[in-house]
Structure 1
Amino acid sequence: MNRLKHLIYEFLVSAGIPETTAKYLNVLLLLIALLLLIFIIDFVIRKLLIQAFTQFSQRTKTDFDNLLVSNKVPRNIAHIVPFLVALEFIPDIFEDFYDFEIIVEKGLQVFAILLTLWVVRSILNTIKDYLKTLPRFKDKPIDSYIQVFMIFAWIVGFLSAIAIVTGISYVKFITGMGAISAVVLLVFKDTILGFVASIQVAINDMVHIGDWITFEKYGADGDVIEINLATVKVQNFDKTITTIPTYALISDSFKNWRGMANSDGRRIKRALFIKQNTVKYLTPETIEKLKDIELLTGYLETRQKDITAYNTANDVNKTLLLNGRNLTNLGVFRKYIDAYLNSHSAVNKDMMIMARQLAPTTQGIPLEIYAFSSDKRWENYEYIMADIFDHVIAAVPYFDLEIFELPTVLQ
């Protein structure tokens, strides 16, 4: 390089150009030649690396190398060689211009920091995309981890660049940054909150990608499709997207349906409201008629024998049904619902099955069905629940009961 430099300088001087001007032209021509050389080297190495990575990825079964190419890892690595060439020749080019040499070298050092960050970011993005293809990592907030690391990396890179440009030692510069830490905390408040929230969400296993969550404050009701440092994206069941601040997951209350999804059934919990004035004791004749209901035949026969034996043993006066022990139409209906649920093919028999009576209200007596469907898919779950209540509502008149309805106001 020095020999070429002297040859060009001598040629310019021999051409009648003043020495001072010849020095500047010499540096300018060498700089243009270096930039052209760097461009050619970068182009050639980039093409060779990309081609080599592409051919190699086609021969392997793993997708990792394909992701390296798609995330531009070879392209970013290819910039390293031209950078080293520039770093080697810049001192020779600016040998007679020390001030320019210092400026250019600082510029190259700052570029080295940026190049390192680009390479690290492309590699981390490759790792992120690859982990998302693995089943055990699909529900993990990989984006948050990558973003946290890159934020620290960019902060360190930014501070290093300022330290290089200003000429202040890195330690002194970091010490000085403590004086403006309050401003930094204010500017990066949301980022810091998101960072803390991401760690707590991950450690406490609060939300996974793919979880169904309900967050009434933000109008979210659907599946989590993305978790990153600042936001959580939820695709609602109407296909809209709701964006929730990550720190809201630890500051506010929300419902995660993962427990239901991982269980053996989905809960059915709904009540019918029975008119109180339709509840009554059953006469022997009515009991005989209800024995025609197959699900109640065995129960009624057993209960009737037990009640008759008790009333006889205690010499109960049965001229009034109120005396002694008796069956009621509501109690028998409740038993029928329980038997029906236990015979229904879509109800999980290994989980709680119950037909229970709740406290009376102004709308009547709530008779609640509490059970779990075997099929947890939303569409099938709704079908199963509707099928059960279709049958139960249609069965109410057979027990001389009525369902409460608000009276129609005639105009």
Structure 2
Amino acid sequence: MSKWSWCCCIATVVVIYAVIMAFIFIFVHSPLETKELEFTVSDASLAGFSYSTATPNNTLSYSLTLNITIRNPNEKGGLYFDQIQVIANYSQSTFSVVTLTSTPLYLGANNTTVLNSIVLQGRQSVLFEESDLEKYRLETTHGVYSVDVKLALRLRDVRFRNGKVIGSVEPPKIECDDLKVPLRKNNGSSSSSFKATWTVSKELEFTISDASLAEFSFTTPNNELSYNLKLNITVRNPNKKGGLYFDQIQVIANYLQSTFSVVTLTSTPIYLGANNRTVLVSIVLQGRQSVLFEESNLEKYRLETSYGVYSIDVNLALRLRDVRFRHGKVIDSLKPPKIECNNLKVPLRKNNGGNSSFKAKRCMNVYIFTKKLRPYHEYGYSG
């Protein structure tokens, strides 16, 4: 074999090795989609639940036992539960708070743990209104009580850092509301069985379903961008219970990191119900804006002009009210981080109306029901 052939063989092997290593690197370091933990009240029963109206006590005596299942559906990494508090409420009155002694608790990837026989027992002075007393008497006749349970967590996130603790997290209280808890009879039986309640909330889904430009031109020396952008935005609520009011929706358009338009929609307030979707149709951003592009940005603009497709970033700033799990009553005001719909490939419509089609794109950075984890370096950890 000639020297040239040997060189070709060696070069081929090196190239193949480099390609394989590149694929391995991409696979290992690709960001994984993070799924929310799933909390289920898998069993609940009452050994006692009685309210005395004898003044001045107004005392609720209770003995509540719970089993709570926690599942981590992520394929990589886990979390440490440093503290779990169980808070029990009846008719909007808190009657018991218990801090579990089983913590700290580690929940690994793609794993499940069951917190068995959590007992909340004692007496608590509570003052019920007449409507609450009527509800209590009615539920006493049926032997089943509507109890709300909340979980307050303090945990450490170790996902995606090869097992290293990267920060402390205190998420919002997890709500396990309107549990129908049966009262056990003296013989140990109950009037009805408890139905397991799944408590995880899924994030809203925002999609830019259509986008087009009737005009997009930049002129010098006045450095003015003339634009006419039209958007359709689809918002979906995948949760099976409850909805939200959108009090305000702002659409912010950016090109090459420069904001050129901000529009507040006049269609708000909008209510988005459970397991439902709404489409914000024909959102128009039109006008002129003075922007200053560097030479590298001008080169990109000229290149995209030659293709007739522009890379535009759209952010959504929301102000909304959360009405989940409260039978329509507003319980909180929310102002989540800006939702990012970046790198949209928006076509410029031609004079004859024809243009390349827009490919719908799902928006990111949606943290309405869940809490965005801060970068690990903000907690003083390195590496």
> Which is helix-richer, 1 or 2?
1
**Structure with greater contact order relative to length (CA < 8 Å, sep ≥ 6):** 2
TM-score range (shorter-chain normalised) is under 0.3
Whose Rg is larger?
A: 1
> Which is strand-richer, 1 or 2?
2
